[in-house]
Amino acid sequence: MLTTLLIVLPLVAALVVWMTPLPREATAALAVLVMLTEVALWIVALAGFDFGSTALQDSAQHEWFSDLGVQYLVGFYGFSLWLAGLTVVLGAVAVGYAARAGRERPRAYLGLMLFLVGAVVGVFASQDLLLFYVFFEAMLIPIYVLVGVWGGPGRVSATVTFVIYTMAGSLLMLASIVAFGLSQGTFSLIDAGTSGNDWIFLGFAVAFAVKAPLFPFHGWLRAAYTESPPEVAALLSGVVSKTAVFGFVWIVLRHFPRPVEDWRTVILVLAAAGLVYGSLLAFRQQDVRGVVAYSSMGQMGLITFGIFATNDLGLDGAVLHSVSHGLVSAAMFLLAGMLIERTGTDRFDRLGGMAKGRPALATLVLVVGMFTLAVPGSSNFAGEFAILAGVFDRGWGYAAVGAVAIVLAAMYTLRLVSAILHRTRGDAVRDEARDLGPGELLLVVPLVALLLALSVWPAAISERSFPGDAPAAAVTEAAP
Amino acid sequence: MIPVASIATPEVDWLALSPPLALLAASAICLLGAVLVPVLARRAFSATVAGAGFVTAAVLAGFVFDRSPEQKLLIAESMTRDRLAALAQIILAVAGALAVLVSWGDRRRDHVGEYYALLAAAGGGMLFFVSAENLMTLFLGLEWFSIALYILVALDTHRKESLEAGLKYLIVGSFGSAILLFGSALTYGATGELGFNAIRDATGADDPLFVAGMAMIIAGLAFKASAAPFHMWTPDVYQGAPTAVTAFMSAATKAAALVVTLRILVTAFPEQAEIWTVAVAVLAVASLVIGNLAALAQKDVKRMLAYSSVSQAGFMLIAIAANTPLGGRALLFYLIPYGAASIGAFAVVAARERELARPVTLTTLEGWGWERPFFGASMWVFMLSFAGFPFTGGMIGKFYVFSAAYDAGWWWLVVIGVIATAVSIYYYLAVVRAMFMRPASARADLVVAGGSPPAEHALSVAVGAAVVITIGSFFFVQPLIDLAADAVASLPF
């Protein structure tokens, strides 16, 4: 019931926001209130959650159509509860940002944001393959419009590229779902067994590789992340990309152990390529959002390392790093948005010298930057360390590449921080560009506080994601 | 003098025949009204009668559905009373009723009575057609609704596109009918039988002429379903016909033709299944490829929707090619959201057309979604349903079609269907893109003709109903699939 409420509340709120002609302020207040309720509901779910149990919790089940055995089956496991928590927190912050920034046509905009949050929570809660597909696809509908209507100058081509890439991937997944579900006789992820079919496996793997994105499926990434409004970019890189993590862990690893063994090297090499390539591209970008976009691609490569290490260490690290990366990249995109509000640009050659007289902005950019480059002691460091230790089992080369990429992360992050804050003052930076106000701090500081809390206690997530290490065990058992 | 009672009259099951008869009656009353009712009240009178006819037909078909658990052959085995026919009749009659609502706002000055009379007659023909059980009634039903449609398409006599479309439809459609008739003749020649069940039981099935006859029957029906390569008439006719007629044709003609294709292939030609499943699969692939690629290049929204309907026919043919009960269920389910979205989409086009009094292209739709949010959001729902996105029945329909194909071993059809869907997203979303993502055009020729836009209450009701059916069929799959399963149970799989 609680899970259903978490999914349905934002979706219904979206309908209400679309249909009732409320004034701008009331709409914004309603949307923020719904998202805060959503966070509260999640906390209730967290408080009642038994992290020692391997069973599906807070589950709800309802027949949908019986002749093909498709049902509405939702609930949470440890790791998916964390991913859902990331979603509601970032959703609340993003809706708050949108409410504050005052977008044109607020009812349409905020309704779409709520719809997106509901769909992503639905992805993390689904335990039926067709239901999973429903929410996975449903995410595209709001994103398509949010980017295409409210984005930057290149928004239409950005959104078309994004939708065509991801639809091509997810339609192949639909074919795989049909084949897998009918051959298993059930679409339930709980009841389904394993399959050794490489083609079905590839249908799923490519869909998630596009969503993540993994090299070489990242063609949509830069335009989609930089053309969309900052709060939408925050949700895209923060939570939408994490649906790929859920898919890899809960569908690919558990149900295709044999193909995972066979294709592991390919995937790890692609992840390594994406990690290095994304980091190098991030180093070459001339704008804040470009750096964060490609940095996200690199970090998704790192998370993929952890997943396809298929051992406890790697998987725990992958979930922890998914959450910390989600928080970091969302914070970065929001900060970029606040910069653009002040200066009209996020290009490095027109920024600089902003630290002077703007202590709050400088502190937040620097702190979030430190998390991005995974300074030892941070939650990102803990996640990356677990991932690299996990992938070391699969070959020291991967760990070496990962270590190199962490150095690259330090390089592009420091370049970003100094380009905004230090050097001579850029021509776009005027004296009127104020420091962050209380409203803006209210949005970013909670994210930083969560990052700090996770740094103090990373085990909150890493030791509470996979009781009984189900996905890793599934692959290990199938290994010859 | 012989007492009347002593003449042996055939027993007629009036209930089973009542849905088409209701529409025939409505048509006759409309025709009378065209002469007798004063011109001021004529539109209201004709539309009400035709609408009532369609609603009555739907209700009567519902009765028939409820009371026909077993198939029963009527009138010397020329007609059938079963749930497949009844369900198809319900779908067709609802489509007709929605088409009446869409037609209401047409600012047609002349031929109002005739228009609604022909619409009801075409509907009656389709209802008759789907309950045909032998080759003669099949042809009779086909010609009945086709002739009515030929006239309807050309009814806007002041527009040369309409006349051109009518002529094209007449020539190509007659060609298709002739092929169907020739195929029927060959089949009769090979088996000596006309009834579908009798053809199945007849000997002489190894005659090559028999297979040729079957192929020609498939081709003739494919003309009506506008499946490639028999779709050439579709874009011109859909574009030229009055938009309300296009809405009706795209949903109803296709539904009727596909249901009859399923029935005749499964009932009369089970022995030749190895041949016709491949043939239908080839038609499906051709429709998907040609329909999709051609739709990509269209700027006129009606033409784009016409090619899209060709590709949608491809999806439904996949379900027929499966030749399983699951495939039958998939087809009947698919028809429901497809029909609703199709009528709804053309209704929205009609609304814009009436505002501007000029053809609707992607350019003339620019920014209109924000101006008329109800039509904009509805169009969005219809496009998402066509493209198979969640929260619309179109997605469940595609899922069923792919499941049926995979279940029957046609995995490559699944792959082609999936690729076709991916391509189709580009042009379906192009409509959304035009309506919401481009600023409203400032061109003077794109302002609303004749001042403020007329209130389109009837059309809005039709669009709203189409949205409810499109979205509702996503959430309430089980009851609809139960109906479809009951209907398919009357076929001898």
pLDDT 10s digits, B236-273: 999 999 999 999 999 999 999 999 999 999 998 888 88
Nearest CA in chain A to B407: A182
pLDDT score at A467:
79
Where is average pLDDT lowest: A82-96, B221-235, B440-454? B440-454
Domain annotation covers residue B352: yes
| Beta-carbon-side half-sphere exposure of residue A342 (alpha carbons within 13 Å) | 27
From chain A, pick out residues whose CB is under 8 angstroms from the CB of B411.
Answer: 179
CA–CA dist B447, B2 (Å, integer) = 74
| Total residue count of chain B as it appears in this document | 493
Tens-place pLDDT, residues B192-202: 888 888 888 88
Measured between CB atoms, does B372 come within 8 Å of chain A?
no
| Contact check, Cβ <8 Å, A134/B415 | no
pLDDT score at B450:
56
> Can you read off the two tokens belonging to residue B98?
């929605």
CA–CA dist B475, B478 (Å, integer) = 9
pLDDT score at A469:
60
Cα distance from B329 to chain A (closest Cα, Å)?
Answer: 10
A71: which strand partners?
Answer: A63
| Contact check, Cβ <8 Å, A160/B433 | yes
CA separation (Å) from A45 to A38, A49, B453?
11, 6, 51
The pTM of this model reads 0.94
Q: Quick check: helix, strand or coil at residue A255?
A: helix
Domain span holding position B437: 15-488
Residue the block writes with tokens 């071993």: B409
Structural domains in chain B (count): 1
Please report the beta strands in A70-133, taking only residues with DSSP state E, as ranges in sequence order.
Answer: 70-76
CA–CA dist A281, A288 (Å, integer) = 12
Partner residue facing A156 (CB), from B411, B418, B437: B437
- The predicted model gives B125-145 an average pLDDT of 93
Q: Do residues B390 and B476 lie in contact, with contact meaning Cβ atoms separated by under 8 Å?
A: no
Partner residue facing A178 (CB), from B406, B426, B437: B406
CA–CA dist B182, B213 (Å, integer) = 7
Does position B407 have pLDDT exceeding 60, yes or no? Answer: yes
Domain annotation covers residue B384: yes
Sign of CA dihedral B19, B21, B24, B29: negative
**Cα B433 from chain centroid?**
27
Residues near B247 by beta carbon (within 8 Å), at least 6 away in sequence: B98, B99, B102, B342, B343, B345, B346, B347, B350
In angstroms and rounded to an integer, the radius of gyration of the C-alpha atoms of chain B is 22
Domain annotation covers residue B4: no
First to last CA, chain B: 51
- The predicted model gives B47-54 an average pLDDT of 94
Measured between CB atoms, does B296 come within 8 Å of chain A?
no
Domain annotation covers residue B453: yes
As for the ipTM of the complex, it is 0.92
Mean pLDDT taken over chain B: 90
Domain annotation covers residue B293: yes
pLDDT score at A480:
46
- The predicted model gives B99-104 an average pLDDT of 92
Domain annotation covers residue B7: no
Cα distance from B191 to chain A (closest Cα, Å)?
Answer: 38
Tens-place pLDDT, residues B297-345: 999 999 999 999 999 999 999 999 999 999 999 999 999 999 999 999 9
Measured between CB atoms, does A172 come within 8 Å of chain B?
yes
Q: Quick check: helix, strand or coil at residue A135?
A: helix
Name the residue among A19, A11, A307 with its Cα closest to residue A142.
Answer: A11
CA–CA dist B224, B237 (Å, integer) = 12
CA–CA dist A453, A467 (Å, integer) = 22
Hey, of A126, A172, A178, which one would you mutate to test binding to chain B, going by the most B CBs within 10 A of its CB?
A: A178
pLDDT score at B447:
62
- The predicted model gives B424-453 an average pLDDT of 76
Q: How confident is the model at residue B441 (pLDDT cuts 50, 70, 90)?
A: low
Q: Within chain A, which residues score under 70 in pLDDT?
A: 468-470, 472-480
